[in-house]
Chain A
Amino acid sequence: MIRVEKLHKTFGTGTRARPVLHEVDLNIAQGTIGAVVGPSGAGKSTLARCVNLLERPTSGRVWVAGTDVTDLPERDLRHARRAIGTVFQSANLLRRRTAAQNVAMPLRYLGVTAREEKRRVAELLERVGLTDRADDYPAQLSGGQRQRVGIARALALRPKVLLSDEATSGLDPAATRSVLALLRELRTDLDLAILLITHEMEVVREVADTAALLREGRVAESGPVHQLVADPHSALGNALLPDRPVSWDRPGLGTWRLTYQGHAVPTDWLTRLGADHGLDVHLLSATVEEIAGRAAGRATIAVGHDRADELTAALDGWGIHAEPLPEPLPESLPGPLPPDHSARAEEPAASEPASEAAAETAAETVV
Chain B
Amino acid sequence: MSTDLDKLWPLLFPAIGQTLQMVAAVMVIVVAVGTPVGVVLHNSSPGALFPHRALRATLSWVVNLGRSLPFLILMAAIIPFTRYVAGTTIGVSAAIVPMSLAGIPYFARLVETALREVDREATEAGRAAGGSRLQVIVSVQLAEALPALVGSLTIAIVGMLEFSAIAGTIGAGGIGYLAISYGYERFDTTVMTATIVTLIVMVQVIQFTGDRIVRRLAH
Contact = CB atoms under 8 A, between A and B. Distances in A.
Contacts of B217: 96
A106 B129 contact: yes
Q: Is the interface on chain A under 10, 10 to 19, 20 to 34, or 35 or more residues?
A: 20 to 34
Interface stretch (A86-94, A296-304, A306-314, A340-348): A86-94
B130 A54 contact: no
Interface string B180-194: 000000000000000
Majority-rule SS of B interface residues: helix
Most buried by B among A82, A88, A96: A96
B144 A92 contact: no
Contacts of A52: 128
A90 B121 contact: yes
A84 B128 CA distance: 8
Contacts of B125: 86, 88, 92-94, 105, 153
A153 B139 CA distance: 15
A157 B130 contact: yes
B130 A78 contact: yes
Given A81-B130, A109-B131, A157-B130, A92 B124 contact: yes
Interface string A77-114: 01101101010111011111100000001101110000
Interface in A19-48: none
B213 interface: no
Contacts of A89: 121
B204 interface: no
Contacts of A63: none
B143 A94 contact: yes
Given A92-B119, A94-B140, A95-B219, A82 B124 contact: no
Given A88-B125, A92-B119, A105 B131 contact: yes
A137 B127 CA distance: 21
B146 interface: yes
Interface in A116-165: 137, 139, 153, 156-157
Contact of A88 (B121, B135, B146): B121
B126 interface: yes
B95 to A, nearest CB: 37
Interface string B96-136: 00000000000000000000000101101111111110010
B33 to A, nearest CB: 25
Given A94-B143, A95-B219, A137-B219, A109 B129 contact: yes
Given A108-B139, A139-B219, A96 B127 contact: no
Given A88-B125, A92-B121, A82 B143 contact: no
A109 B128 contact: no
B200 to A, nearest CB: 33
Most buried by B among A86, A93, A109, A157: A109
Nearest to B217: A96
Nearest to B125: A92
B127 A54 contact: yes
A108 B130 CA distance: 10
Interface in B198-219: 217, 219
A156 B130 CA distance: 11
B131 A94 contact: no
A105 B219 contact: no
A81 B139 contact: no
Given A94-B140, A96-B146, A106 B130 contact: yes
A320 B206 CA distance: 78
Contacts of B135: 108-109
A110 B144 contact: no
A88 B121 CA distance: 8
A105 B130 CA distance: 9
Contact of B130 (A79, A93, A95, A139): A79
Contact of B124 (A54, A94, A108): A54
Contacts of B132: 78, 109
A96 B219 contact: yes
A97 B139 CA distance: 10
Interface string B131-159: 11001000110011010000000000000
Nearest to A157: B130
A96 B128 contact: no
A162 to B, nearest CB: 11
Contacts of A92: 119, 121-122, 124-125
A81 B128 contact: yes
18 contacts: A78-B131, A81-B129, A82-B130, A86-B128, A92-B121, A94-B125, A95-B144, A96-B146, A96-B217, A96-B219, A105-B126, A105-B131, A105-B139, A106-B130, A109-B129, A109-B130, A109-B131, A157-B130
Interface of A: 52, 54, 78-79, 81-82, 84, 86, 88-90, 92-97, 105-106, 108-110, 137, 139, 153, 156-157
Top 4 A-B pairs, shortest CB-CB distance: A106-B129, A92-B125, A86-B128, A82-B130
